[in-house]
Structure 1
Amino acid sequence: MGSGDVWTAFGPGLAGAIFGAGWWFWVDAVVCSQSTVPFLHYLPGIFASLAALMFNCVKKEDLQEYSSYDDGEGCRSRTWLFLAYVISFVSLAGSVGMLVQDSLVPKGPSTWTGVAGVLQCFLILISGLVFWTSRSSE
């Protein structure tokens, strides 16, 4: 069993554990919060999860061949992948914005809620990348 086989065998499990840890941080922060967490604070994690799903819908084979005049599957896959990364990084930026808001507003959610949101989005992004790189091409 080579290193690629080990990555293919254990990568999806590792990705699932990282994804679960991201959501665990968020659930912990919401449960332990002294005040009600507004629904707006949930959106970065939801969109990060959606983005991870989006870029795992792209096959690696679709990205191999490229022609600047191609308007077929390769172009659509690259556009979809670009959109998925834009959504994931915007959700990460949104969670950082929520962290700043939580640290500045005295009556809002705690700073831990903001930190947990950033950790959640970061870990979801990492888990999606781990899963995408560890998928077998078969």
Structure 2
Amino acid sequence: MRSETRRVCRVRLPNLPLLLRTNRRAFGVYASGALFAAGWWIFFDACVRSHQLHRPPPEDVPFQPPEVAIKFDDWVSGLCTTTGLIIINMINKQYLLDDGALQSGSWNEDPILWRTRMWLFIGFAFLAGGMAGSMAVLIIKYLANTHAEGFIELGVAGVVQNLLIMACAVILWFSQRVESDYEYNLTL
């Protein structure tokens, strides 16, 4: 049996610098935290802009506030996505990688594995529901509404927020699966 030395990709991808290879877990955690903070920052910025648009001017000028503003329906999708992120990252991933339950073929009889997969499904459902909700708010409230012309960036901020939180969940999931420098896999 010969060892496979063929590449998977036609284009040779560059190797990660030594600093990133040795600290993959920490880099992934920091990068996911930055994505999470950036997502909520973008949404809070849209909330501040929405509030500024509805503030009357200080002079005695007649003021008609815009009919579109960020309200609770804009917040729900980000809260759902954040809840999904929390649920997914609270799962002990070792239960999903348990070789004993997977090799025996009786994973449906193992209650811990079943509950772990159920919580993982619920977390991903929250992530997908939050993303779908932000897209629905963008389309219904900001794109289809004739009174929302010029305020589409408020809806786009919610979609970008959810995309960044979902990217945070993916990076955090994979970075926590990387073995730490302090963990050793000793098998004989």
**What is the TM-score of this pair, normalised by structure 1?**
0.89
Distance 1:58 1:13 in 2: 19
1:6: how far off? 2.1
Distance 1:17 1:6 in 2: 16
Name the amino acid aligned to 1:75: W
Q: 1:132 aligns with which of 154, 168, 173?
A: 173
Distance 2:22 2:96 in 1: 21
C-alpha deviations, 1:54-82, integer Å up to 9, x for none?
A: 00011221101233333321111111001
Is the 8 Å Cα contact of residues 85 and 165 (structure 2) preserved in structure 1?
yes
Which stretches of structure 1, 4 residues or longer, exceed 4 Å deviation after superposition? 1-4
Q: 1:112 aligns with which of 125, 141, 153?
A: 153
The residue matched to 1:126 in structure 2 has which SS? helix
Aligned to 1:44: 77
Aligned to 2:137: 98
More helix by share: 1
Distance 2:21 2:97 in 1: 19
Residue 4 to residue 82, structure 1, CA distance change in 2 (3 Å) = farther
Higher RCO (C-alpha 8 Å, min separation 6)? 1
Distance 2:49 2:164 in 1: 20
Is the 8 Å Cα contact of residues 29 and 175 (structure 2) preserved in structure 1?
yes
Aligned to 1:76: 115
1:3: how far off? 5.6
1:83: how far off? 0.9
Name the amino acid aligned to 1:106: T
CA RMSD of the aligned region, Å? 2.0
Q: Which has the higher Rg, Structure 1 or Structure 2?
A: 2
1:8 aligns with 2:25: yes
C-alpha deviations, 1:78-109, integer Å up to 9, x for none?
A: 11001110111011011000110212213359
1:21 aligns with 2:38: yes
Aligned to 2:87: 54
Distance 1:106 1:29 in 2: 20
**What is the TM-score of this pair, normalised by structure 2?**
0.67
- Number of matched pairs: 138
Aligned to 1:123: 164
**Kindly, what percent of the aligned residue pairs are identical?**
30
